[in-house]
Amino acid sequence: MKIINILFIALMAFTTINCKDGCNGNKDEAQAPSSKQSSITDKYGKPGEYFPMDVGRKWTYNIKLTDDSKNPPLAYGIEIWPMGENKNISYETRGLLYGRDKKERNPQLIIQVDSLAAKQGPLHYPMGVRLKIIRDDLGIYGWPEYNEGVYWAVTTSGRWQVTEVVLRDPMSPGAPRIGSWGGWGGESGFSLAMKFFGARPGLSIGIGSDSHDALEFLGPEDFGGSMALHFKRVVDVRKDSEGKTREEGYLGKSFTEDMWYLRHVGLVRLVQTVDKVETMVWTLEGY
């Protein structure tokens, strides 16, 4: 992501990666489906059919930005940097998505499944693919020179679930400069994001025991005459140790991203909303 005015949380504490609701599994331990689960599958299909990952498959999204310069789209993430001995430094980042060319009013995002990946950065999930970022006008996945790979990692432990992994060059802006050579020779940083999961409507999951970023499954619904699965990403405002909202202006605001997935197609629409204003809308043009 292109980050303007990155806010680094002074958490220079060592952290571990945890997942709410047991989403850290990396073994295929799925139980046999019940008769009720089988009837749901008969009606809606399998979760993986809504998130296809065939090698060579490509998605092209046209992105519409708000005309109000006071409401640009927001970016949020947690960057994790390995520091050896199973310890990490974790930074929360918030910023604006502008892209390198601020005059570009018709940006696109084009991604393609490049290859199978037995290892997905720090993850070793049963299924994984490496993505090729063909075009990213807004810098959603970061600048190419600092992006070391984007992966989708899938686990079937308890439920079908997709985690997106983005690897960061240790020389990239914001990386910790540890040692006499700075970032040179350091381990790659990474960020993790929940992209999709199969579960009952109403369930919300996130990465980390104190995550401000959660993905909720709202359930099946009609989408232009077809049945789609509706997910909502919710990024909360930051709060201090007493639970009070921190005043950080527009960058610190909460936002949502509604996403719709079609069977055998994948993500077809994304709408980000800040203060009831639609800041950006992704529409699938081709796949």
Per-residue pLDDT tens digits for 71-124 = 899 999 988 888 777 787 888 888 898 766 666 678 999 999 999 999 999 999
Q: Is residue 213 part of a domain?
A: yes
Q: Is residue 78 part of a domain?
A: yes
List the single range of 42-46, 185-189, 191-195 with lowest mean pLDDT.
185-189
Residue 262 has pLDDT above 80, yes or no: yes
Q: What is the pLDDT of the chain when averaged over all its residues?
A: 82
Q: Is residue 159 part of a domain?
A: yes
User: Domain range spanning residue 102?
Assistant: 48-286
Number of Cβ atoms within 10 Å of the Cβ of 105: 10
Confidence of residue 46 (pLDDT cuts 50, 70, 90): very high
Confidence of residue 244 (pLDDT cuts 50, 70, 90): low
Q: Is residue 210 part of a domain?
A: yes
Q: Is residue 26 part of a domain?
A: no
List the single range of 94-108, 175-189, 238-252, 266-280 with lowest mean pLDDT.
175-189
Per-residue pLDDT tens digits for 147-185 = 889 999 999 887 899 999 999 888 777 777 656 555 555
Number of domains in the chain: 1
Report pTM: 0.83
Q: Is residue 2 part of a domain?
A: no
Q: Is residue 96 part of a domain?
A: yes
Q: Is residue 278 part of a domain?
A: yes
